[in-house]
Amino acid sequence: MRSTPAPAIVAAPPPSAATVESLSTIAPPGRKVALLAPLSGPNAERGAALARAAGLAMKGEGAPTLDVLDTKGTPEGAAEAANAAIAGGAGLLLGPLTAGETAAVAGPARAAGVGVLPFTSDPTQAQTGVWPLGIMPAQQVRRMVAAVMAQGKNRFAAVLPDSDFGHAMATALQQATSSAGAPDPMIAFHTGATGSINSTIREISGYASRRGPVDGQIRAARALGTAEGRRQAVQLARTPIPPPPFDAILLADSGERLSTVASLLPYYDLDPPAVRVLGPALWGSSSARGDAALSGAWFAAPDPASRANFDALYQADGGGPAPGLSDFAYDAAGIARALAKGAGFSFAALARPDGFAGVDGVLALQPDGTVRRGLAVFELQRGGPVIVEPAPDTITAPGL
């Protein structure tokens, strides 16, 4: 939440009466807030950082009581902590950290009508009353699809690893294109082996049908056995082949496998500017990109500059550099503080349509448990990622 824990309010249409009624049927038991964090076990150091960040957002007058409970880093410990927090009068749970812990907490929290703001990025944990705050594939892909379509292009494809993450990215692309009114995307998966990657890219690009007619003409010219035939063959070999049947291609690999994928794209004439390469937010890390040739590729992620105030606050508190995920704890506590001053922690209050201004940009909790985020679009250039579309400052912007 920037340096002030009170979220900004942005204009947005109000929810329907039916939505408000359905979300308001259960009133949380109180205005205390509990942070569920791994204070012991292998993630104890991260748990301490989460507690420090949440505490920063709760400093000052008017903040609700914050209880910090140890999940021990296990689903069983998380369920025990959740039950203790609810019994103690907590009206909102911040955390837990992992998907497994979140799944264990969701049941008792839902039964008690208590909202949960976990820090996982597992989209399967989203449900009514449970809003995972991690940066999700759907948020990233929606933003990129909107940016591509703003350039007048609407045909998408994807070559993805046959993994949970690859399938999550595929689902996100299908949903984003459907919502935007774009044609159904072409999606294919590879096993990770070089041969599988090669055949998958070749097939989805339609290379055989694009290159085949030209190759046939070259063979016919050479078959003439004349100087003119050889001249024609050379000229035909320089003829650009038709473009692929899509304007943008989504990838999700990293490291050495990404290098393999990237090296094959130009071989099958999937080059910019004809084709825009899209990828996940993890491409913001040079270690994730490796030595892949991805100049001109896009990814969507929070603007690092937006969390500068939080980083400064965390370091000033003696915490050193703010570690990853601590920003989610700060945001969750900031949301709790803002709502404690007014409507409280009902599901309807949490899912207010005007959203909140978070450390990583604007965000809005949706009635179904998903979270909309305002992400920036980055382009990979020689010196590293550069923002080509800034993060929107309203939750009603396209692509969120």
Same domain, 272 and 165: yes
Q: Does 6 score more than 60 pLDDT?
A: no
Query: What CATH number does residue 289 fall under?
Result: 3.40.50.2300
Same domain, 268 and 145: yes
Asked whether residue 233 is assigned to any structural domain, the reply reads no
Residue 213 C-beta-side C-alpha neighbours within 13 Å: 7
* Least reliable range by pLDDT among 22-26, 44-48, 232-236, 322-326: 22-26
Does residue 152 come out as left (phi exceeding 0), alpha (psi in the -120 to 50 range) or beta? left
Same domain, 172 and 292: yes
Average pLDDT over residues 271-294: 93
- In the chain, the number of structural domains is 2
**Contact predicate 142/400, CB 8 Å:** yes
Q: Does 13 score more than 60 pLDDT?
A: no
Does residue 41 come out as left (phi exceeding 0), alpha (psi in the -120 to 50 range) or beta? left
Q: Does 92 score more than 60 pLDDT?
A: yes
**Contact predicate 173/185, CB 8 Å:** yes
Note the pLDDT tens digit of each residue in 323-373: 999 999 999 999 999 999 887 899 999 999 999 999 999 999 999 999 999
Average pLDDT over residues 296-320: 92
CA 147 to chain CA mean position, Å: 15
Q: Partners of 376 in the beta sheet?
A: 301
Note the pLDDT tens digit of each residue in 234-262: 887 887 788 899 999 999 999 999 999 99
Q: Does 5 score more than 60 pLDDT?
A: no
Does residue 188 come out as left (phi exceeding 0), alpha (psi in the -120 to 50 range) or beta? beta
**Contact predicate 203/266, CB 8 Å:** no
How far apart are alpha carbons 137 and 349 in whole angstroms? 25
* In the block, residue with structure tokens 């935007």: 180
Same domain, 318 and 277: no
| pLDDT score at 342 | 84
Asked whether residue 1 is assigned to any structural domain, the reply reads no
Asked whether residue 54 is assigned to any structural domain, the reply reads yes
Note the pLDDT tens digit of each residue in 55-77: 999 998 888 999 999 999 999 99
**Final residue of a domain: which of 300, 320, 344?**
300
Q: Does 162 score more than 80 pLDDT?
A: yes
How far apart are alpha carbons 241 and 236 in whole angstroms? 10
Q: How confident is the model at residue 17 (pLDDT cuts 50, 70, 90)?
A: very low
Residue 124 structural domain = 17-134+303-369
How far apart are alpha carbons 256 and 253 in whole angstroms? 9
> pTM of the predicted model, to two decimals?
0.86
Assigned token pair, 392:
């929107």
